[in-house]
Structure 1
Amino acid sequence: MFHKEGQNIILVAFFLCAALTLVAQFYIEPIWLRISIQAGAILILVLILQFFRNPKRVAARTFDEILAPADGKVVAIEEVEETEYFKDKRIQVSIFMSPLNVHVTRFPASGAISYSKYHPGKYLVAWHPKSSTENERTTVVIRTPLFGEIGYRQIAGAMARRIVNYAEEGESVQQGADAGFIKFGSRVDLLLPLDSVITVKLNQKVVGAKTCIATLAPEDEE
């Protein structure tokens, strides 16, 4: 299954690959050059197909867990001062998506969207410390039943040039549902309450809508 955001790109890539393969077959000599061109065209098509893949996943939909909003690797777990919406300290968990990862963004929790805003910006590499505040990005806040308000950011990188965000203020969303897409990039930051218990480690690989990122603190520790 492929994501709807890639349908036009896949269609164009398919016809270009087919045309290039046919032209090479009848007009390109010597044979080694012909085969190289055909193999290259097919490889590019395969890479585009894998980039826009959208595996079906059904989240457990539990209120006491925050699930990964994207596939990738945890590159940061730190306390930050969030100045856009919360205007207080939050635990930030950053997930970096390589070009080989699934690039679908999924809602990390069920609740109601209380904030959703797009910001134009730069295209620093995704692991740059200032990419969270200076790159093209969207910020979304979900009001959850148990965690209160949590946030996440879709952040463009050096390759990512288009962020797609489906979250609209006032709507109710389900944990694990499709929240958007980042074309050819890059990173998603979770912004969680300080009393959240983080259940992942640095450099851990996570799976969107499957890997638990945080849970509630036990009642006797609150």
Structure 2
Amino acid sequence: MKTTPAMEHDDFTLKEKLSYGIVGLVVLSGSFFIGRSIVRGARATSEQKKTYEDGNAASFAQQLRMAFENDNYFEWGTDKEVVRDVLRKVPSKDYFKQVINSYQKLYARSLMGDLKSELTTSEYNEMLSIIAGKPDKITGSYKPIITYQQYLAWAKRLKAAFDITYWFVPGTDEPAVKAVFMEIPTQADFQKVANAFLKEYGNDLMSVLKTELEFWEIGAMMDIINNKPKA
């Protein structure tokens, strides 16, 4: 019976050890998260300084984030035209990876994840096609050459513009169509886009345009192409 206090003391000591272990684990975990937050904050501050230079990866990342937030009294939701404009300015796929990395540093978020959540399916597909049509990398001696990949990217962007819905009602994203038409450099290139559209989707582009656009819109759109050089 005299050993009971010792046993109780041993039990209490074991509880103390467990308690100290749990407390230590909590402190260690807290220190880890605090340390990670400090590192993230420092990294974001460092990256934020780069946003003042227009046209770099950090600036593009910030513009995309602002387009997602788009907080003002007159509009709500993501400003997709700004998103489109920013992605059109990104010179290459390799540079877009830098934008993704900068976005992660600035906001500790995935740019691709935010694009997917902020845009409709057709809008998201359009933005992916913008990047898909860019060269892999640009060097000092780079000369832009329009490849089938670019023609297909333009065709896919047009298809995405045709597939958009507004509150489950089918529609057409006219600004997206116009953006593609503005980028196509010549009438000959437009025909190659039409060929890529036919090959990819089995439909004649001009017929689809006449179906998707009002009669007064189709004329204005085609004027953009007809005013370009023939070749």
Larger helix percent: 2
Same fold (TM over 0.5): no
Higher gyration radius (CA): 2
* TM bracket, shorter-chain basis: under 0.3
Larger strand percent: 1
Q: TM-score, normalised by structure 2?
A: 0.24
Higher relative CO (CA 8 A, sep ≥ 6), structure 1 or 2?
Answer: 1
